[in-house]
């Protein structure tokens, strides 16, 4: 049998399919040629104009819609990237297949053989292919469009099609950090977002671990009852709980000020005045942290309870023989076992609260008062973004820039923590 020239085959595959035809893979060659032809036709009919529209974002106001052009252009850009990945894979496939044939290895050549190979070696790819296609339209495309909006002047003065959008580079990021008004607002909102995330997430994790450890002790009776009680906050829809707490913490008619505080004053030596939960920024923030602790700890409780049941009693017995105290047992046995399993979940609690819009919006709409730029005193970044896009003077470009910053922070912190915790080590 005549030896194939892998380099020649690779050069032939610069036109997708020709290299495969040279290797005797007629079915694959025809398919690859068909994909190449479809891409060329698509580019000629739709694709080139879509990419031009992405660059220009329209030229005639009233006729062109910049956002539609951006979406179509972004989609075409993704299609082009996918085709380039296919193109590179086609070249590599032609070369490697030629080398395999020269080594005497059997390769699928007919349509029947290729289908049989796909159902065996290629089954995982067939199974995940629909998920990848869905991911392009539901995740990647919206993320790319949001990313691109951060580099435009898309605000209340530029609403297409009446007024076209244009590219302005990093001007939005420059304004956010250099203009005193934006910088002050961003600093205040970002600072509270970090404090809120750390305090609320830590509180719910600590409460969850504490209740799980206490309920797990042998001397505790009625563990099932405790379990049901601890799960009650989880059983009630979160928005219902938040709205209920919004009424409970009402300054003038809430149960805390009207019933709980007067009741406590009968027993405490110090008089507690009524607290401005909804009108004082400090106490609003305190209330939000407490409510999230209440809402979030049941999930941690359930998770930690399952972990505790998997810890061998022999470890605790050996520690008792060695004279370890309960605190030492917790620090050296219980806590490491919990962190080894639940570290990724704990990280997700922090990332979730970093973007926990519902509690901020439903409790007091980000109030009371404001810190400038349309942001309230208790607004976090995600709720500020909401106000920037739904107000009377929407600033979509600034909201997109903030979204980009949020994503970068969350991804960077999450990856760092996951790496340090070795949470996903499979060895």
pLDDT digits (tens, 9 = 90+) for 40-72: 999 999 999 999 999 999 999 888 999 999 999
- Residue 393 backbone phi and psi in degrees, to 5: -125, 75
- Mean pLDDT of all residues in 129-136: 85
| CATH code for the structural domain at 176-421 | 1.10.3720.10
- Mean pLDDT of all residues in 155-171: 90
281-310 and 335-354 are packed helices; what angle lies between their axes, rounded to 10 degrees? Answer: 140
The H or E element that residue 329 is part of is helix 326-329
Residues 6+ apart with CB under 8 A from 117: 108
- Mean pLDDT, the chain, whole residue set: 88
Could you state, in order of their start, the residue ranges of all structural domains in the chain?
A: 6-169, 176-421
For residues 156 and 164, give the distance between their C-alpha atoms in angstroms, rounded to a whole number: 11
122-136, 286-300, 383-397: the lowest-pLDDT one: 122-136
Instruction: Please report the pLDDT score of residue 282 as a whole number.
Output: 95
DSSP structure class, residue 263: H
Instruction: Please report the pLDDT score of residue 382 as a whole number.
Output: 93
The H or E element that residue 375 is part of is strand 375-376
Residue 228 has pLDDT above 80, yes or no: no
SS3 406: helix
């Amino acid at each position: 049998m005549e030896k194939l020239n892998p380099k020649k085959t690779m050069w032939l595959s610069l036109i997708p399919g020709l290299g495969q035809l040279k290797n005797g893979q007629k079915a694959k060659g025809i398919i690859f040629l068909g994909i190449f032809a479809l891409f060329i036709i698509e580019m000629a009919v739709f694709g080139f104009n879509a990419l031009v529209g992405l660059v220009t974002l329209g030229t005639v106001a009233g006729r062109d819609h910049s956002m539609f052009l951006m979406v179509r252009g972004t989609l075409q850009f993704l299609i082009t990237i996918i085709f380039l990945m296919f193109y590179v894979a086609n070249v590599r496939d032609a070369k490697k297949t030629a080398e395999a044939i020269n080594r005497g290895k059997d390769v699928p050549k007919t349509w029947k053989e290729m289908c049989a190979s796909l159902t065996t070696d290629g089954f995982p790819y067939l199974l995940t292919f629909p998920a990848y296609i869905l991911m392009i339209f539901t995740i990647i495309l919206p993320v790319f469009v949001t990313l691109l909006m951060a580099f435009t002047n898309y605000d209340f003065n530029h609403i297409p099609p009446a007024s076209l959008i244009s590219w302005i580079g990093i001007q939005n990021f420059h304004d956010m950090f250099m203009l005193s008004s934006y910088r002050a607002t961003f600093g205040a909102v970002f600072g509270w977002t970090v404090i809120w995330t750390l305090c609320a997430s830590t509180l719910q994790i600590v409460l969850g671990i504490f209740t799980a450890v206490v309920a797990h002790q042998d001397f505790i009776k009625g563990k099932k009852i405790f379990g049901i009680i601890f799960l009650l906050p989880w059983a009630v829809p979160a928005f219902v709980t938040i709205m209920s707490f919004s009424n409970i913490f009402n300054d003038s008619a809430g149960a805390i000020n009207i019933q709980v505080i007067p009741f406590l004053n009968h027993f405490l030596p110090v008089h507690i005045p009524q607290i401005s939960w909804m009108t004082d920024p400090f106490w609003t923030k305190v209330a939000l942290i407490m409510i999230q602790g209440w809402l979030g700890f049941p999930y941690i409780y359930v998770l930690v309870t399952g972990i505790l049941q998997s810890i061998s009693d022999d470890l605790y017995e050996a520690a008792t023989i060695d004279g370890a105290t309960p605190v030492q047992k917790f620090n050296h046995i219980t806590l490491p076992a919990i962190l080894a399993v639940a570290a990724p979940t704990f990280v997700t609690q922090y990332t979730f609260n970093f973007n926990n819009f519902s509690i901020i919006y439903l409790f007091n709409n980000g109030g009371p008062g404001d810190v400038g730029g349309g942001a309230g005193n208790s607004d976090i970044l995600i709720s500020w973004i909401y106000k920037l896009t739904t107000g009377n003077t929407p600033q979509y470009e600034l909201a997109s820039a903030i979204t980009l910053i949020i994503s970068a922070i969350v991804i960077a912190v999450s990856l760092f923590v996951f790496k340090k915790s070795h949470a996903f080590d499979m060895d």
